């Protein structure tokens, strides 16, 4: 993912490494160089698979949600101005859920960021409603159909009803 994670007006590169159990942020500079690398461990047993970023706690810094298909969890990390990430909380997506895709948006119109994940192992999508302080309610699930194995998700106002 490419965005300005530390608010210095230069694009940064955020990657996840399942094999190394970490997330990495390469800070960009005026020369389009990414030599400053910040590594944050996700811990043994949490294999990061997919991610997305938005400001979850209203501090004007990008925060990150990372999903792990093997551990059946999502994890929220808060961003900081120096490019480091602080682990906040891990949320379960359910036994054998195997989350594979994640998107962010304000799905209930409360001006808070919500998280939606595809749970391919149990054929549903899970919605974690944001509480505005960087925390989320436990997931509510919606079936995608028997053997559907959802793998990717994107949110938007597709019918232009402003909801």
Strands (DSSP E) found in 80-159: 85-92, 99-105, 114-119, 124-128, 140-143
Name the DSSP letter for residue 130.
B
- In the chain, what percentage of residues exceed pLDDT 90? 87
CATH number for region 2-143: 2.130.10.10
pLDDT at 10 over 90: yes
Q: What are phi and psi of 61, to 5 degrees?
A: -125, 145
The two three-digit tokens of residue 83, written as one number? 């490019």
Can you state the percent helix, strand and coil of the chain, rounding each to 5?
Answer: 0, 45, 55
pLDDT at 157 over 80: no
Please state the length of the chain.
Answer: 163
Spatial distance between the Cα atoms of 119 and 142, rounded to a whole number of angstroms: 10
Write the CB contacts of 11 (distance below 8 Å, at least 6 apart in sequence). Answer: 2, 3, 4, 28
User: Taking the domains of the chain in order of start, what are their residue ranges?
Assistant: 2-143
145 confidence band (pLDDT: 50, 70, 90): very high
159 confidence band (pLDDT: 50, 70, 90): confident
The two three-digit tokens of residue 62, written as one number? 């990008």
Spatial distance between the Cα atoms of 27 and 10, rounded to a whole number of angstroms: 8
Laid out side by side, the sheet with 12-17 consists of: 2-3, 12-17, 22-27, 36-41
* Model pLDDT for residues 46-70, shown as the tens digit of each residue: 999 999 999 999 999 999 999 999 9
* Model pLDDT for residues 101-117, shown as the tens digit of each residue: 999 999 999 999 999 99
- Taking the alpha carbons of 54, 119, 141, 146 in that order, is the dihedral positive or negative? positive
Mean pLDDT, to the nearest integer, of 119-133? Answer: 97
């Amino acid at each position: 993912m490419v965005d300005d994670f530390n608010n210095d007006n230069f694009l940064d590169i955020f990657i996840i490494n399942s094999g190394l159990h970490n997330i990495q942020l390469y800070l960009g500079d005026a020369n389009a160089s990414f030599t400053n690398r910040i590594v944050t461990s996700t811990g043994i047993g949490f294999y990061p698979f997919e991610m997305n970023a938005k400001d979850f706690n209203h501090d004007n810094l990008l925060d990150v949600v990372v999903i792990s298909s093997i551990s059946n969890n999502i994890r929220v990390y808060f961003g900081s101005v120096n490019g480091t990430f602080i682990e906040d909380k891990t949320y379960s997506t359910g036994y054998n859920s195997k989350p594979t895709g994640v998107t962010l948006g304000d799905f209930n119109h409360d001006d808070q960021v919500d998280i939606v994940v595809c749970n391919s192992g149990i054929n549903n999508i899970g919605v974690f409603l944001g509480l505005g302080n960087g925390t989320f309610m436990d997931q509510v699930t919606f079936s995608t159909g028997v053997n559907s194995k959802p793998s990717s998700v994107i949110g938007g106002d597709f019918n232009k009803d402003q909801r």
